[in-house]
Amino acid sequence: MGILIQSLHDFLGTRLTEPGEPGAHLAAAMNWLCRAQDMGGGGGVARMYHLKTGWGPAYPETTGYIIPTFLQYAQLSGRDEFAERAIRMAEWEIAVQLPNGAVQGGTVAATPSPAVFNTGQVIFGWVAAYIHTGDRRFLDAFRRAADFLCEHQDPDGAWRRHLSAFCSPAANTDSYCYNVRTAWALYRAGEACGERAYREAAERNLEYVVRRTLANGWTPDNCLSDPSRPLLHTIAYTTQGMLELALCTGNAEALARVRQANQALAEGFEREGRLFGRYDQYWRAAVHWRCLTGEAQTAIVWFVLGQVLRDEGWSRRGVRLTAQLKRLQSLSGDPDTVGGIKGSHPIYGPYGKYQYLNWAAKFYADALMLESGYADAGRWG
């Protein structure tokens, strides 16, 4: 009965947690991700826990960028089991890598089809695993993936082939600007193995995205379902990719666009007391529900801006944003939801409806590690 009542509170959005120091919230999120890995089977991390249907199948894309989070948490906590879990994830990713080097779209339950974005996100994991272990299996895997990305990139820096098979026809675009996060992964691969071609391909994509970004920092063609009102989730994919590549390459215009975008979000946050799930090109909120994944990602960007600009104002905003997420994270009750982060708030919002998403917990954990003072958290992918 207690779990049923908790689920009802979660559904209605009336169950709130008193925000505490980041450590307890971080440990709960990491434990939830361990449960998701155990439920995924074989080493991969289950895509989500659904209030109606239970645990979903393992998801190659997000398992890929969960790997760096586990390796960083292992360092922070001193608990080797998290590094061991990360390596199992990286080995599982090799087992499901497609023959052409790509990573499939969707979960392992979907018919395999190569996807540029998903490939980039798993590169983050293989690079982190290679740096951690020196195991050439991971080097070979990320090089095959990076070669796939370079082979299918167009001369102007965009990726137009092998985009997601799961996009809505309403998106009506031939490329997605949030693939700049894929470019960031490609740059990291180039750094890890000394391949200049990977770094040059990443810079071409960054320049393409910067050219397309408006003067106010808003980027078009930036959502799988509604590019005129992109999700905060894909907005943050783009700003994080642009930010990290700007820092890698010294691209001042890219950094300026990231600052403009996040200044607009921060002003809205301070005015309204919250962020929203979608924004139009004038940075007006386009919906009333919240995208918690995007909020965690935005907190990461704000913490990193605070570091690189030496501006405590950005870090304070990040702390205020993680406090809002802490209130929505259960620290006791149903083991399938304790520590997890919902896709939307309320939970019946359209992004990850009725679901606790593994990538929401991943980005939340990264944000909490940054809040704890671990300056490299979230900077590996």
Q: Is residue 40 part of a domain?
A: yes
Output the CA–CA distances (angstroms, integers) from residue 344 to 214, 276, 318, 348, in the order listed.
27, 10, 19, 7
Task: Say how far apart CA 372 and CA 130 lie, in whole Å.
Answer: 26
Residue 351 has pLDDT above 90, yes or no: yes
The least confident of 163-172, 192-201, 290-299 is 163-172
Dihedral sign from CA coordinates of 8, 12, 18, 21: positive
- Predicted confidence (pLDDT) per residue in 213-234, tens digit: 999 999 999 998 899 999 999 9
Task: Confirm whether 7 is domain-assigned.
Answer: yes
User: Is the residue at 378 inside a domain?
Assistant: no
**Does the pTM exceed 0.85?**
yes
Find the mean pLDDT for residues 139-161: 97
- Number of structural domains, the chain? 1
Over residues 169-177, the mean pLDDT reads: 74
pLDDT band at 170 (very low <50, low <70, confident <90, very high): low
| Cβ burial, residue 304 (10 Å; 0-12/13-18/19+) | buried
pLDDT at residue 16 greater than cutoff 90: no
* 376 found inside a domain: no
pLDDT digits over 267-288, tens only?
Answer: 999 999 999 999 999 999 999 9
Is 280 inside any structural domain? Answer: yes
Question: Does the pLDDT at position 17 exceed 70?
Answer: yes
Q: pLDDT-derived band of residue 8, with 50, 70 and 90 as boundaries?
A: low
- What would the mean pLDDT of 135-144 be, rounded to a whole number? 98
Per-residue model confidence (pLDDT) at position 163? 86
Q: What is the pLDDT of residue 80?
A: 97
pLDDT band at 171 (very low <50, low <70, confident <90, very high): low
Q: Which domain holds residue 52?
A: 2-371
298 within some domain: yes
CATH number, domain containing residue 340: 1.50.10.10
pLDDT in tens, 176-190: 999 999 999 999 999
pLDDT at 12: 56
- Give the CA count within 13 Å in the CB-facing half-sphere of 180: 32
DSSP assignments along 134-152, one per residue: --HHHHHHHHHHHHHHHHT
Question: Confidence band (pLDDT; 50, 70, 90) for 50?
Answer: very high
Q: What is the pLDDT of residue 9?
A: 57
- Angstrom distance (rounded) from CA 102 to CA 96: 10
Q: Order across the sheet with 54-55: list the strands.
A: 54-55, 48-50, 355-357
Distances (CA, A) of 257 to 206, 282, 354: 12, 14, 34
Would 380 be classed as within a structural domain? no
In a domain, 377, yes or no: no
